[in-house]
Structure 1
């Protein structure tokens, strides 16, 4: 069996005519509008793997070469042929992929980054294959991979059988992890930490309720406890460092969402790990300190008992933004992006250009910086407005008043620029640049990790105060089509639901109440209605 990637989910009629199929049941919208009979949809799991048994069987049953040997020789050849037939049957049975093999193929194809010279390691599960090869069938790590892979296949194929098996595997693995946590030496092992991360990803994929994102946050908190238990020793191995780097990004994002300051140990370990990192890896790690400052500022603003001076908030926000700006000016060449102007408008591209990056993980670092800078400039606008309207801080003739007003204009321009740059990264994630124009725009299916990395930046852009209704509709449509096509409505709903519950804090604007695009647009609007 050979893994062939994700096949088209369209019906036969839409595939033949190269039209977009909405996969409606019992018949797709294109067929209904055209008045033709819809043939239905193919078995996705069967198509993901290329069956080579017939080819092997053909080799086994190839016509024998004529020979002038005696009948006794022919009987021996006949016996050998019967043996081959029997072996062919055994081969056919043994080559059928097990659930574990299908699940592992899905995880490695969709979540593991390419680790080669052209694509430097960015720490997103690129260490998983090595760990998986060392693990035994039925081990905690292998079961965690199986659970995540099965729920991914269930989402892609919309097959409840896979989902039920995934849930059972998840429950058994979670119990096994819980038992290991009671023994310190076992809890410090790499496979336990990675299993907790994989189970957290399972949570975001398996449920469409806001609670699933809350469960993901709990997994991250549990992983942080494991990091503290593992201590400095975890940085002594390559896998330990890679796992830490990946978990650090999760922890930082979680702290921003929950409006809490990051643990000081994270920055200490970052400093220790940077001595082992390449230039590209160090560039990603360098922004962690600015992210921590922003997270601490956001935490203070959310604390009702925290007393602060408006001038200090503005100055702190400006300093942090300047740090991010300097980072953008000093990134290594591998982080630079290339802009591609499109000759004619395309609904998959917002505006007239899109950006290309070395890999989706580099694009993810850029989008994380952009998302934080958007929130920083919203903080600046909010508190400068308070300053300018408060007599105790400023007078109408105050010279600083004109400077603050200029900063408001600058911040609005920056928000507009940053949101457009986030949108310009989307076509790269979705393989728009790899489409075959000679084959009706056919392209490789985006990996599941692409949608995962896009969710927070796109949502941050969509709820920014200065974003146009046109951009919101485009973001909503892009997310809706991607997750519905890929079967990741759960990831979409749970992620957006959590962010909406967190709220924007200061946004009180009314959203456009006209024509809306699907449920995603409504979920986006709910953030400030």
Structure 2
């Protein structure tokens, strides 16, 4: 292989005329000259020319002369590649070597790096990889290869952001194309290199990824001004990629604002593309994925969701061949849309508290029915709860096993929205004229729902981060990305049970207080924050670190829902978790991890008892009926069992 220099990225007509190309599709020069634009080639595939066959042929011709015998049989060449920093060693003493330096093709080094999950180590772009060819006659030809940032980013992207039968599987086709859209290429490489730099550390990796991001942003602005190119799949994918980039590199409040801007832009593109995008499976997938992201954005800021997201649902379902698999996710999306609309109407005061709580109660009831029906009738969407050995990666020895992508992500969304619905219900209940007994019954039920959702989120995390007993995610980066929001909402529920006073004490004191040592909720909150730290530092999604920081210090968003004070009730928290909390406060290398590795599995944390569920109704507050859970009581201990909230019935007044 030889390096041919950087070829022109322009279209065929501009290259022949040796003119500057705008890189549009079609380019501005071809439009002006009214010529058919021939498209673009993948310049990264043209920088290196494979001359292995010519080198081997040359070696075969020189082999008999080097060995001194023309009658000896000619052995087939053997190619052996060493590690990124390794050195090749001749197999026979005294053999001669020839060295030639070339650039790294899109393979090997980045592939080996993409599967490491150890402590970050610096990847030196000047380091070479040796490839040794054993030619006939004892001649060894050694080649050294230097990786380029673009190659590292591209390989890491396809290895970690895509899968054959899962997330963005269609993008695997782009990997095989000879001509890759420049906009999409820059966006993919920027995401891949940024994620690789977060995990392993690449020389100038941050600067290179920012440069690729800027190039992609420039091409995207040009594409959005083109009436045809702005409706292409590549433009919409690039917008989503740049949103991913912001989450990967999120190191300031501006990154969150930029992510919101990308989501807003993607939604505008969805509307501009029209219903024609539903004619392809890839177009339908892009619509569903961006719609889900924008609904999160609406709920985040209490924005009004665009009407077309629900008005086009019938056409989307009619053209979906995969409806039997994706139909339940669409149903959940519609419930999420209704909830986002309710949040917006509450913000602008377009709905009364009584009407709002009736709507919220109806949404909560239908979400419960959605979950029960799915677990009962749809094997693809069912999950199993199994007991596993205790470890720092598993909460309370329980784990959920899912069937695959996107089952776990959709169940996580369900639990997120259900938590937010109950918070909205509680916000409204506190503002209605109810008797203390009625208010307490309803608040107890809503807190029980949040407790159940929190535990289920924690049970679903291990398999998404590769720590489950089976059916672990094959692409940790993608499933870890979809786990950040569930962990955040589970963390807010755990903090709700702790209270702001005790949480502040636990974070500031070098030694846990007596109250902290008796709170299982505090241990659960610390476990959740630990999972976010893992996602940030090991998986490489820096956004998780910012979310964890919010849990550590920001109680403002749910302050009205917290207990007024006093020590929380719960079970004893062993020294395993007390040391974990103290180590995290000191922000140093955790000594508890070494103790766990040396001493075997850690002890199980006894969960708190479930609060009794509501058995009454608020007079006139729930005209459509109230959803009630069935409580299971242990006959021996006379205490409520954990996870005993099974669906029973609707109580109508």
After TM superposition, the score normalised by the length of structure 2 is 0.61
CA contact (8 A) 2:457 2:486 kept: yes
1:518 is aligned, of 576, 584, 605, to 584
**Is 2:503 the counterpart of 1:503?**
no
What is the match of residue 131 of structure 2? 53
2:333 is aligned, of 257, 265, 288, to 288
What is the match of residue 199 of structure 1? 242
Distance 1:147 1:194, change over 3 A: same
1:180 is aligned, of 223, 227, 231, to 223
> Which digits, 9 at most, give the CA deviation of each residue in 1:264-322, with x for residues without a partner?
1111233322221331211111111100111111222233xx15433222211110011
What is the match of residue 477 of structure 2? 448
**For the residues of structure 2 that align with 1:493 and 1:53, how far apart are their CA atoms?**
42
What is the match of residue 397 of structure 2? 352
CA contact (8 A) 2:412 2:486 kept: yes
Bigger Rg, structure 1 or 2: 2
What is the match of residue 425 of structure 2? 380
**Is 2:157 the counterpart of 1:111?**
no
Deviation of the 1:159 alpha carbon: 2.9
Deviation of the 1:341 alpha carbon: 0.7
Query: As a proportion of its length, which structure holds more helix?
Result: 1
**For the residues of structure 1 that align with 2:274 and 2:394, how far apart are their CA atoms?**
45
**For the residues of structure 2 that align with 1:444 and 1:46, how far apart are their CA atoms?**
33
CA contact (8 A) 2:125 2:146 kept: no
CA contact (8 A) 1:136 1:142 kept: no
Deviation of the 1:429 alpha carbon: 0.8
**Is 2:465 the counterpart of 1:430?**
yes
> Which digits, 9 at most, give the CA deviation of each residue in 1:169-191, with x for residues without a partner?
11111011101211211211111
**For the residues of structure 1 that align with 2:244 and 2:227, how far apart are their CA atoms?**
24
Secondary structure of the 2:212 match is helix
**Is 2:232 the counterpart of 1:189?**
yes
What count of residue pairs does the alignment treat as equivalent? 437
**Is 2:56 the counterpart of 1:6?**
no
**For the residues of structure 2 that align with 1:364 and 1:480, how far apart are their CA atoms?**
20
**Is 2:262 the counterpart of 1:208?**
no
**For the residues of structure 2 that align with 1:279 and 1:520, how far apart are their CA atoms?**
50
Deviation of the 1:502 alpha carbon: 8.7
1:376-415 to 2 correspondence within 5 Å? 376-387=421-432, 390=433, 394=434, 396=435, 405-415=440-450
**For the residues of structure 2 that align with 1:413 and 1:194, how far apart are their CA atoms?**
40
Secondary structure of the 1:330 match is helix
Query: As a proportion of its length, which structure holds more strand?
Result: 2
Secondary structure of the 2:204 match is helix
**For the residues of structure 1 that align with 2:228 and 2:556, how far apart are their CA atoms?**
37
2:539 is aligned, of 486, 491, 500, to 486
**For the residues of structure 2 that align with 1:259 and 1:177, how far apart are their CA atoms?**
28
User: 198-207 vs 485-494, which deviates more?
Assistant: 485-494
**For the residues of structure 2 that align with 1:341 and 1:208, how far apart are their CA atoms?**
37
**For the residues of structure 1 that align with 2:181 and 2:190, how far apart are their CA atoms?**
12
**For the residues of structure 2 that align with 1:44 and 1:470, how far apart are their CA atoms?**
40
**For the residues of structure 1 that align with 2:273 and 2:178, how far apart are their CA atoms?**
20
> Which digits, 9 at most, give the CA deviation of each residue in 1:17-62, with x for residues without a partner?
xxxx7x7xxxxxxxxxxxxxxxxx5749899x9x6833xx13xx25
Deviation of the 1:242 alpha carbon: 1.4
> Which digits, 9 at most, give the CA deviation of each residue in 1:151-174, with x for residues without a partner?
111111223511111111111110
CA contact (8 A) 1:416 1:466 kept: no
What is the match of residue 334 of structure 1? 380
Secondary structure of the 1:503 match is helix
**For the residues of structure 2 that align with 1:516 and 1:301, how far apart are their CA atoms?**
41
CA contact (8 A) 2:476 2:539 kept: no
Distance 1:185 1:307, change over 3 A: closer
Unaligned runs of 5+ in 2: 1-106, 499-520, 569-577, 588-653
Distance 1:9 1:278, change over 3 A: closer
Secondary structure of the 2:431 match is helix
**Is 2:401 the counterpart of 1:366?**
no
Distance 1:516 1:210, change over 3 A: farther
**For the residues of structure 2 that align with 1:260 and 1:347, how far apart are their CA atoms?**
38
> Which digits, 9 at most, give the CA deviation of each residue in 1:449-491, with x for residues without a partner?
1221111111111112346222111101121133222343344
Distance 1:172 1:500, change over 3 A: farther
CA contact (8 A) 1:187 1:226 kept: yes
Secondary structure of the 1:53 match is strand
User: 408-417 vs 493-502, which deviates more?
Assistant: 493-502
What is the match of residue 364 of structure 2? 321
CA contact (8 A) 2:190 2:245 kept: yes
Deviation of the 1:418 alpha carbon: 0.6
> Which digits, 9 at most, give the CA deviation of each residue in 1:88-110, with x for residues without a partner?
56xx46x7654333212211222
Distance 1:346 1:97, change over 3 A: same
**Is 2:476 the counterpart of 1:476?**
no
1:179-328 to 2 correspondence within 5 Å? 179-275=222-318, 276=320, 277-303=322-348, 306=349, 308-328=351-371
Higher RCO (C-alpha 8 Å, min separation 6): 1
CA contact (8 A) 1:212 1:494 kept: no
Secondary structure of the 1:386 match is coil
Distance 1:134 1:505, change over 3 A: farther
> Which digits, 9 at most, give the CA deviation of each residue in 1:339-391, with x for residues without a partner?
1112x43222111311110125211100111011111112222322332xx3x
Secondary structure of the 2:274 match is helix
> Which digits, 9 at most, give the CA deviation of each residue in 1:108-129, with x for residues without a partner?
22221441xxxxx5xx422222
**For the residues of structure 1 that align with 2:268 and 2:548, how far apart are their CA atoms?**
23
**For the residues of structure 2 that align with 1:502 and 1:237, how far apart are their CA atoms?**
44
> Which digits, 9 at most, give the CA deviation of each residue in 1:63-98, with x for residues without a partner?
57xxxxxxxxxxxxxxxx7xxx6xx56xx46x7654
Distance 1:190 1:133, change over 3 A: farther
What is the match of residue 20 of structure 2? none
